[in-house]
A = this chain, B = another copy of it.
Amino acid sequence: MTTHAPRFVLFEPTHPGNVGAAARAIKTMGFHDLALVNPVGHPDPEARARSSGALDVLESARVAGTLADALDGCGFIVGASARHRRLGMPELDPRECAAEVLRACAARPAAIVFGPERAGLTNDELDLCQALVYIPANPAYSSLNLAAAVQLIAWELRAAQGVVLDTPPPESPPAGVEDMDLFYEHLERVLLASGFLDTGNPRNLMRRLRRLFNRSRLDQNELNILRGILTSLAPGSGRRDWTGPP
């Protein structure tokens, strides 16, 4: 894991709502280090509203008068660019950016710098950057909202941290292959007795039914329910070899 948190730097953002939404985006992905360079109207009620439950991130943002001040203490600096630029520095996609930023954070905080909504970063700001991150958006309309771009980059950082789905254990364990076989035998008996299956050649249809139920990866409870249904549907005094959940 990283030893420093990445810093998200908004350079001269003009819409306070975007600043609040960016704070929210950062916090939902587990980050907190936000810096603002000459923000228009900060702090602003609109920013507070859009930050939602990330008001702490918004209120603790460092506010700086220059980009250099906002980058204080950072080691690796990446500038976000909405278009390709020939600037003689590496151009990373968001996934590559996340990997590089996390690697750099082992030594010092790394920063991702986002430019103003309309204009993006100019060469003056990019002079402080060591790489560009470029979001390969729709060439016909590549204008991501500022907070949306922050969300996307923050998500890639979170995914690159190896955050994995912590799926809760199932309520019921998967059905075992032996129980599935008993179920299919039961099903076949019931369908033969009902006349649905041709006694002479039940194989093809049974195979299709097997595929259907195998695909659904039944758990033990579901299997018990199905066997209960079969028992309840068995025509006449069909052999009752199963009487209910254990």
Contacts and interface: CB of A to CB of B under 8 A. Distances in A.
A25 B141 contact: no
A138 B91 contact: no
Contacts of A53: 141, 143
A25 to B, nearest CB: 6
A60 interface: no
A14 to B, nearest CB: 14
**For the complex formed by this chain, how many copies does it contain in all?**
2
A219 B141 contact: no
A12 to B, nearest CB: 19
A183 interface: no
A148 B155 CA distance: 10
B24 A138 contact: no
A151 interface: yes
Interface stretch (A34-42, A104-112, A166-174): A166-174
A144 B138 contact: no
B93 A165 contact: yes
A145 B21 contact: yes
A152 interface: yes
Interface of A: 21, 24-25, 27-30, 50, 52-54, 84, 86, 88, 91, 93-95, 134-138, 140-145, 147-148, 151-152, 155, 158-159, 163-168, 170-171, 219, 222
- 7 cross-chain pairs, A with B, having the tightest CB-CB distances, nearest first: A30-B138, A148-B151, A28-B137, A136-B163, A28-B144, A93-B165, A27-B141
14 contacts: A21-B145, A25-B145, A29-B138, A54-B141, A86-B168, A86-B170, A88-B219, A94-B159, A95-B159, A136-B165, A136-B166, A147-B148, A151-B151, A152-B152
